[in-house]
């Protein structure tokens, strides 16, 4: 789980998005006023404007659902926040900095968009173990992740031998097992049954209650209803 200690250091002092909130152990604590800050964002793809002058601010501990019809720009926005989509104009800040596809950024940000590339020959459990092995601390143990994501009985199966929903649960387990303070999720409900979609809503609520921040694109009305809803134009939906 994200700890206060981590949050205290998620923003460097000296950036104007941070504010000192007190003194502890002789050091002024600074917390982010916003985790995500987008202003006047325009993205053109293939010569067509997909996002037009969008504004968005996301505070620590918020769950934000980007909602809208197919093709409205939800995935494009998430890709901008992940630093994977060059912007045409405007400003995108994540933790007070332009998102950069580098290790410092990905230590704090966990992204789930397309289906991950599964390693041939590794089981579901081994995929989670691999994720655990590359991070000094994880948010949960592999066994806990298998329990939470209802994969215990299929733990020794290769991902490609899982059902679509089971593979999505494995992808989510991987994303939520690793440490992060910002989750960027593109249609996390994809392939999940109704019961597990409700469970996912609980898990994202727990993540935010522990100080994490979630921005997701979703077509699931119930998942969206538990979040602050915005459209890719940036207005409340």
Contacting range for ligand ATP; rule: CB under 6 A; set: 17-25, 44-52, 113-121, 177-185:
44-52
The DSSP output letter for 117 is P
Q: What DSSP designation does 97 have?
A: B
Q: By CB under 6 A, which span of 22-30, 69-77, 92-100, 105-113 interacts with ligand ATP?
A: 69-77
State which of residues 22, 26, 46, 86 lies at the interface with ligand ATP (CB under 6 A): 46
CA separation (Å) from 2 to 22, 150, 176, 182, 183? 20, 23, 11, 10, 12
Q: Which is nearer to ligand ATP, 94 or 128 (CB)?
A: 94
Instruction: Decide if residue 230 touches ligand ATP (CB under 6 A).
Output: no
Of 20, 28, 45, 100, which lies in the binding site for ligand ATP, with binding defined by CB under 6 A? 45
Q: Does 168 bind ligand ATP (CB under 6 A)?
A: no
Tokens (6 digits) for 123: 């089981």
Single residue of 42, 57, 72, 88 touching ligand ATP by CB under 6 A: 72
- At 220, phi and psi to the nearest 5? -90, 115
Taking CB under 6 A as the rule, does residue 68 contact ligand ATP? yes
Closer by beta carbon to ligand ATP, 74 or else 108: 74
Cα–Cα dist 210/198, whole Å: 19
- Residue choice 70, 134, 153, 236 for contact with ligand ATP (CB under 6 A): 70
CA–CA distance, 164 with 157 (Å, rounded to integer) = 13
User: HSE on the CB side for 205, CA within 13 Å?
Assistant: 12
Tokens of 86: 């060059």
71 binds ligand ATP (CB under 6 A): yes
235 binds ligand ATP (CB under 6 A): no
75 binds ligand ATP (CB under 6 A): yes
Sorted by sequence, the CB contacts under 8 Å of residue 29 that are 6+ apart come out as 8, 20, 21, 22, 23
CA 109/CA 92 separation, integer angstroms: 15
Q: Which positions touch ligand ATP (CB under 6 A)?
A: 45-46, 50, 68, 70-76, 217
């Amino acid at each position: 789980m994200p700890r206060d200690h981590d949050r205290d250091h998620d923003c460097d002092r000296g950036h104007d998005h941070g504010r000192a909130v007190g003194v502890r152990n002789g050091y002024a604590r600074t917390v982010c006023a916003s985790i995500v800050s987008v202003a006047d964002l325009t993205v053109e793809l293939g010569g067509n404007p997909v996002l037009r002058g969008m504004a968005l601010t996301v505070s620590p501990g918020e769950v934000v659902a980007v909602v809208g019809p197919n093709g409205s720009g939800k995935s494009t926005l998430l890709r901008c926040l992940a630093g994977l989509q060059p912007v045409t104009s405007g400003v995108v800040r994540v933790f007070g900095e332009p998102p950069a596809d580098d290790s410092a950024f990905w230590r704090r940000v966990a992204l789930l968009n397309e289906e991950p590339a599964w390693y041939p020959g590794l089981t579901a459990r081994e995929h989670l173990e691999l994720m655990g092995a590359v991070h000094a601390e994880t948010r949960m143990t592999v066994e806990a992740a298998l329990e939470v994501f209802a994969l215990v009985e299929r733990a020794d199966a290769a991902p490609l031998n899982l059902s679509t929903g089971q593979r999505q649960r494995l992808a989510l387990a991987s994303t939520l097992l690793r440490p992060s303070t910002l989750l960027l999720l593109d249609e996390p409900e994809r392939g999940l049954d109704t019961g597990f979609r409700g469970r996912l809503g609980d898990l994202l609520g727990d993540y935010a209650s522990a100080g994490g921040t979630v921005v997701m694109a979703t077509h699931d009305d119930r998942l969206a209803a538990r979040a602050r809803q915005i459209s890719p134009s940036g207005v409340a939906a």
